[in-house]
Amino acid sequence: MRPVAYPPVNPVTAMAVEAKRDKETSRKRQQYAAVNRIALTCDHPQKLVHGRSGNSGNALGIERMREIDDRNASGANMIVDLNGAWARLWESQPVDLVSGQWTILLVLVLGLVLPRPVWRITGMYSTLVHELGHVISALFTGRFVTGLRLGWDHSGEVVSRGRGKVSIIISGIFGYPAPLLVSAALLWATAAGYAGRALGIYALFFVLALVFVRNWPAFVVCSASALVALGVVFFAPSSAYIYLALLLGGFLLCSGIRDYLKVLAVHTWRRRDIEQSDAYLIARATGTFATLWLLVIMALGGAGIFLGVQSLLRLF
């Protein structure tokens, strides 16, 4: 095959073509800059459609690109905030409160537990922790939990399926001790400087608990508990972790003691309500004595009170 012979290139023609190309490129750059200025100075991009079709299309495209960039920037900021919140959770938070701050916390805790009108609302949270104690202990014994329900009258019910009396006993005895044990864990973590980590686990715990709720009262109380903890974890400074952990720990300690006084009353002078007692339900399911399981429940609660008070004393 014979090689193709191309005609020689005229240098003058090549220079003219190159100059024309540079001129066209410069014109496009000027046009783009003008459109960019219009996009930046126009508060209402929709007004651009009344101009020339080419310029308006370019301007709207630029505005769209800027919106996408803003969304990407906001997403990046959110990632930074999440990373910052995660870093704050793992920071050590030493407790250094003065007597006035302790007094305020004590007044808040007692104000959430003692007044009857307030307790009608806050007691729902204590009931939820009580029922979640049944849920967690049932899962650890291999029982299948089918639902958790709460009533606005502080009643609660956990439905589970499984075999063996041992699983019935274990899942039954950890209801009343649950608030006291959770309180002891929160107070210990706060005293050790791990208030942020404890709140992170606390929030995750209530988010996962939503899987088991089966009615509106349980959903509302569980969601509110998770949202409060998540709000503090992600949006509050790390110093707020200590106050929330102490407030929750103190509330669960006092509410747990109140519930124990209630169950003791049920087994003594208010025996008409005996069917509400976990000890009675365990005894009926296993064919044993309710007093035996009441003593076991009291021992577990006593351990929770001892650990919680011990952690509180370490904070002073």
Domain final position from 56, 89, 122: 89
Q: What is the domain extent for residue 48?
A: 11-89
- Assess whether 114 and 78 both reside in one domain: no
| Domain count along the chain | 2
Residue 44 belongs to some domain of the structure: yes
Q: pLDDT band for position 38 (50/70/90)?
A: very low
- Assess whether 237 and 199 both reside in one domain: yes
Residue 203 belongs to some domain of the structure: yes
Domain final position from 38, 70, 89: 89
Residue 244 has pLDDT above 50, yes or no: yes
The structure tokens listed for 195 are: 């208030």
Q: CA 192 to CA 244: how far, in whole Å?
A: 15
Q: What is residue 102's predicted lDDT score, i.e. its pLDDT?
A: 93
- Assess whether 49 and 70 both reside in one domain: yes
Q: CA 306 to CA 178: how far, in whole Å?
A: 14
Q: Which has the minimum average pLDDT: 15-24, 164-173, 190-199, 236-245?
A: 15-24
**CA 271-276-277 angle, 5° bins:** 80
Q: Mean pLDDT over residues 174-196, rounded?
A: 94
- Assess whether 182 and 202 both reside in one domain: yes
If one compares 137 and 234, the residue with the highest pLDDT of the two is 137
Q: CA 316 to CA 268: how far, in whole Å?
A: 37
Highest mean pLDDT: which of 179-188, 219-228, 238-247? 179-188
Q: What is residue 173's predicted lDDT score, i.e. its pLDDT?
A: 94
Q: CA 159 to CA 113: how far, in whole Å?
A: 28
Across all residues in the chain, what is the average pLDDT? 80
Q: CA 233 to CA 83: how far, in whole Å?
A: 12
Between 116-140 and 239-266, two packed helices, what is the crossing angle to 10 degrees? 90
- Assess whether 179 and 241 both reside in one domain: yes
| CB of 190 closer than 8 Å to CB of 249 | yes
- Assess whether 125 and 210 both reside in one domain: yes
- Assess whether 63 and 129 both reside in one domain: no
- Assess whether 28 and 141 both reside in one domain: no
Residue 47 has pLDDT above 50, yes or no: no
| CB of 200 closer than 8 Å to CB of 181 | no
Q: CA 279 to CA 258: how far, in whole Å?
A: 17
**CA 184-185-191 angle, 5° bins:** 85
Residue 94 belongs to some domain of the structure: no
Q: Which has the minimum average pLDDT: 40-54, 57-71, 208-222, 231-245?
A: 40-54
If one compares 123 and 8, the residue with the highest pLDDT of the two is 123
Residue 3 belongs to some domain of the structure: no
Q: What is residue 27's predicted lDDT score, i.e. its pLDDT?
A: 66
> Residue 157: beta bridge partners?
149
Residue 297 belongs to some domain of the structure: yes
Q: pTM higher than 0.85, yes or no?
A: no
Highest mean pLDDT: which of 47-56, 80-89, 302-311? 302-311
Between 53-89 and 11-41, two packed helices, what is the crossing angle to 10 degrees? 60
- Assess whether 215 and 293 both reside in one domain: yes
Residue entry with tokens 């929330």: 244
CA-CA-CA-CA torsion sign (202, 208, 211, 212): negative
Residue entry with tokens 């339900």: 281
- Assess whether 78 and 137 both reside in one domain: no
Domain final position from 64, 89, 114: 89
Residue 213 has pLDDT above 50, yes or no: yes
Q: CA 254 to CA 129: how far, in whole Å?
A: 13
- Assess whether 103 and 37 both reside in one domain: no
Residue 5 belongs to some domain of the structure: no
> Residue 150: beta bridge partners?
156
- Assess whether 84 and 106 both reside in one domain: no
